[in-house]
Amino acid sequence: MKFRRLQSPALAVLAALVFAPLGGCNKEEQAKAEREKAESQAKAAEAQREADEKKAEAAREAAEASAKADTARSEARASIQKDVDAADRKAADLRERAAKLKGNAKLNAEAASNELTKRRTALDKDLQELGTARGEAWDKLKAQTEKDVDAVEAAVDSFDRTLSGKS
């Protein structure tokens, strides 16, 4: 059996009728795919915008919290420094009084003064670190600094009792 090649216009029309719906489906599918792609891009853009807004809000909240914490730390340092300054003034007065002593009283006063100096040196170290510490480390260091302030104040009181002769 031999196949003959049909070269008639009827064959061209027939082919156009058979393949025409396929071309139309492709265009409809392509348009649908483009709409879905545009919707997907719009949803992605909206999600990105929402994420950016949440990120910006979190950054604002973090900045506010940091500012509040900085203020609280500054106030705490000022309060501690006020106590330290008061102890330093009293210690300076006690050292002036101790310089006038003689004999055993002078030796006892020097021992009390040396103890005060040792405590004050530890406190100085804490005060320096307190200026740069943050977060939980700052809280722990603040507690230690307050203990060291109490120790300096106790050493000043002991120095005063030594000078007054009240052991």
- 50-85 pLDDT tens trace: 999 999 999 999 999 888 988 988 899 999 999 999
Mean pLDDT of 89-105: 93
User: Does 9 or 150 have the greater pLDDT score?
Assistant: 150
Name the pTM for this structure: 0.64
Give the pLDDT band of residue 13 (cuts 50, 70, 90).
very low
Average pLDDT over residues 158-166: 87
77, 131 contact by CB (below 8 A): yes
Kindly report the average pLDDT of the chain as a whole number. 86
Q: Where are the domains of the chain?
A: 9-164
| Cβ-based neighbours of 83, under 8 Å, separated by 6 or more | 149, 153
Which pLDDT band, with edges at 50, 70 and 90, does 156 fall under? very high
Within 10 Å of residue 87's Cβ, how many Cβ atoms?
A: 22
Burial label, 145 (beta-carbon count in 10 A; 0-12, 13-18, 19+): buried
| pLDDT grade for 109, boundaries at 50, 70 and 90 | very high
pLDDT for 164 equals 87
pLDDT at 132: 87
Averaged pLDDT, 136-150: 94
**In whole angstroms, what is the distance from residue 36 CA to residue 26 CA?**
15
What residues contact 134, with CB distance under 8 A and at least 6 apart?
69
Q: What is the pLDDT of residue 36?
A: 93
Residues with Cβ within 8 Å of residue 152, at least 6 apart in sequence: 84, 87, 116, 119, 120, 123
Half-sphere exposure at residue 45, Cβ-oriented, CA atoms within 13 angstroms: 6
Segment 96-104 shows an average pLDDT of 91
pLDDT at residue 30, as a whole number: 92
